[in-house]
Amino acid sequence: MVTPGPGTDPRASAAGSGPVPKRRGTELALLGFAVLITMAAQCIVDITMTGSLTSEVATFGAWFTALWLVAHVLVRRFAPYADPLLLPCVAVLVGLGLSMIHRLDIAGDQLGSNSSGEDAPVQLLWATVGLGLFTAVLVVVRDHRVLARFAYTLALVGLVLLAIPAVLPASISEVYGAKLWIRVAGFSIQPGEFAKICLIVFFAAYLVDKRDVLALASRKVAGLELPRGRDLGPVLVAWAASILVLVFERDLGSSLLLFGIFVVMLYVATERASWLIIGLLLFSGGAFVAYQLFGHVRVRVDTWLDPFAYADEGGYQIVQSLFGLGTGGLFGAGLGGGRPDQVPVAKSDFIASAIGEELGLFGLVAVILLYLVLVERGLRTSLVVRDGFGKLLSAGLAFAVAWQVFVVLGGVTGLLPLTGLTTPFLAYGGSSLVANFGLVALLVRISDAARRPTAPPAPTPPKLTDAPTEVVRP
């Protein structure tokens, strides 16, 4: 099953030449670099926006550094063979996000600004909670294969989490027209972010179980290997669930995200491209019907096709985002030099356009590449890990990040219709940040298993036939 090419398997080079390098030192150095970048960004923001540095920067720096130090020590202790690039990528993204949110906080009192509040400290707090989840996952889940046993429980939890906002009254669950939230006592939680991870775990366990049936039984129609009708069940269920999310929660993004992840995991499990085509057809059909039936979908698509025609209405956000990106140009206006606060919800949905405006094309592409590194390291873990469940799970998690980043950044830059998804690690929002810390914890756990050298075979007791004959005397 595992057929690594030359150089793709870290164990290949290590095979027979001593212990596998753990590369924890690399991780620590890169984390230090991430903290350095974040601190530089914080200082630049404070100096350009307020003209002075306060002790708050030092407090923030100490806290932020401690956060990653704890994470690093945890990995050293509980997952010593984990991929050393995962955490540093996340650290830079979280740090940049915090700096940009801090910058938008300061802009709050300016003329014509759309942002307000003191959100950066809250976000730092959420990052700390996220670290808590990270710790819990690493400590409790010592072997990722254990998760497969709870697949159906997790499926149930995922579906319930997904369904809660839909059944709650709109006053508790609706924000900007999408019913995605649970808002209680000043806190708002987007349960969909956690549901996503639960469902990926379930998909992985279910598909590993059923992959042979799904892959082998088929009919050939017009040169295409098509699965049997009754095997279409799971994909139809996933499709129906995502349509239900679309209808009852009015959330294009989550719907697209879940269905995309499922179809790709199905493809990876069965190695059959026909699933991709079936998925695409189902999605197109659903999208077409949704476009015909739902006003909010139609508005999203129309403003996507020609945002400037709706510049004062539905297209306002995307037009402002494009203005920010265009004005930023190659090098950007510099942190604190632009007006990213003119884009509505710049801290959450449009944080990428704020980065594009102030750090320029180079900054935004750097962020995209950070995500790419994170995702490709996840997929690489999937290539290397030995068990099928681990493979599917890490592939699903990594692809989830990739797909979400693509849909969000595509929306913010006008490549795709705008959806309500958050930018992982970067955007303001507790649920998203905490859930994604959990996601990374799982990737760290699986990558540890992938790179951990197989235990040397236990000395087998000598076979009876080889044993020296003992003469038993009566």
Partner 1 sequence: MNAPLRKVAISVLVLFTLLIVNVNIIQVVRADSLRENPRNTRILAEEYDRERGAIVVDGNEIASSVPTEDSLTYLRQYAQGPVYAPVTGYYSVIYGNTGIERAENDVLAGTDDRLWVRRLADLFTGRDPSGGNVQLTLDGATQQVAMDALDGLTGAVVALEPSTGKVLALASTPTFDPAQLSSHDPAAIRAYRESLDDDQITNQAISERYPPGSIFKVIVSAAALSSGDYAPDTVVPAPQELTLPNTATTLNNFGNDPCDPSGQQSLTDALTISCNTAFAQLGIDLGEEQVREMAEQFGLDDEGFEMPLPVAGSTVGDIATAAELGVASIGQQNVVVTPLQAAMIAAAVANDGSLMRPYLVDSVQAPDLTVVDQTDPEEMSRPVSPEVADQLTGMMTSVVENGSGRRAQISGVEVAGKTGTAENAGPDHNWFIGFTPAADPQIAVAVFVRNGGGTGGDLSAPIARQVMEAYLGQGGG
Listed residue (249, 229, 230, 246) closest to 283, CA to CA: 246
Contact call for residue 1 and partner 1 (CB under 8 A): yes
The answer to whether 224 and 280 are in contact (CB under 8 A) is no
Its sign, for the CA torsion 179, 184, 185, 188, is negative
* Spatial separation of the C-alpha atoms in residues 9 and 30, rounded to whole Å: 22
Chain positions 95 to 124 lying near partner 1, rule: CB under 8 A, are: 110-112
Whichever of 114 and 431 has its CB closer to partner 1, that residue is: 114
Contact call for residue 282 and partner 1 (CB under 8 A): no
Determine the interface stretch with partner 1 among 53-61, 85-93, 174-182, 391-399 (rule: CB under 8 A): 391-399
Whichever of 22 and 451 has its CB closer to partner 1, that residue is: 451
Chain positions 239 to 278 lying near partner 1, rule: CB under 8 A, are: 264, 267-269, 271
Cβ of residue 315: shortest distance to partner 1, in angstroms? 11
Contact with partner 1 (CB under 8 A) among 71, 90, 199, 364: 364
Listed residue (18, 200, 101) closest to 425, CA to CA: 101
DSSP letters spanning 134-202:
HHHHHHH-SSGGGGGGGHHHHHHHHHHHHHHHHHS-HHHHEETTEE--EEETTEEE-HHHHHHHHHHHH
Contact call for residue 413 and partner 1 (CB under 8 A): yes
Determine the interface stretch with partner 1 among 1-9, 116-124, 146-154, 234-242 (rule: CB under 8 A): 1-9
Contact with partner 1 (CB under 8 A) among 192, 324, 417, 429: 324
* Spatial separation of the C-alpha atoms in residues 193 and 439, rounded to whole Å: 10
Contact call for residue 409 and partner 1 (CB under 8 A): yes
Contact with partner 1 (CB under 8 A) among 177, 233, 329, 453: 329
3-state secondary structure of 452: coil
Whichever of 419 and 431 has its CB closer to partner 1, that residue is: 419
329 token code pair: 């140009």
* Spatial separation of the C-alpha atoms in residues 347 and 122, rounded to whole Å: 12
Contact call for residue 425 and partner 1 (CB under 8 A): no
β partners of residue 183? 188
Buried/exposed 44-70: b ≥16 CB within 10 Å, e otherwise: bbbebbeeeeeeebeebbeebbebbee
- Here's the x/- map for partner 1, 25-44, by CB under 8 A: it reads as --------------------
Cβ of residue 206: shortest distance to partner 1, in angstroms? 15
Contact with partner 1 (CB under 8 A) among 279, 338, 424, 430: 338
* Spatial separation of the C-alpha atoms in residues 445 and 144, rounded to whole Å: 7
The answer to whether 143 and 448 are in contact (CB under 8 A) is no
Chain positions 285 to 314 lying near partner 1, rule: CB under 8 A, are: 311
Whichever of 175 and 361 has its CB closer to partner 1, that residue is: 361
Whichever of 3 and 292 has its CB closer to partner 1, that residue is: 3
Cβ of residue 302: shortest distance to partner 1, in angstroms? 18
444 token code pair: 């760290």
* Positions in the binding site for partner 1 (CB under 8 A): 1-4, 110-112, 264, 267-269, 271, 311, 319, 322-330, 338-339, 342, 356, 360-361, 364-365, 368-369, 371-372, 375-376, 379-380, 382-383, 388, 391-392, 395, 399, 402-403, 405-406, 409-410, 413-415
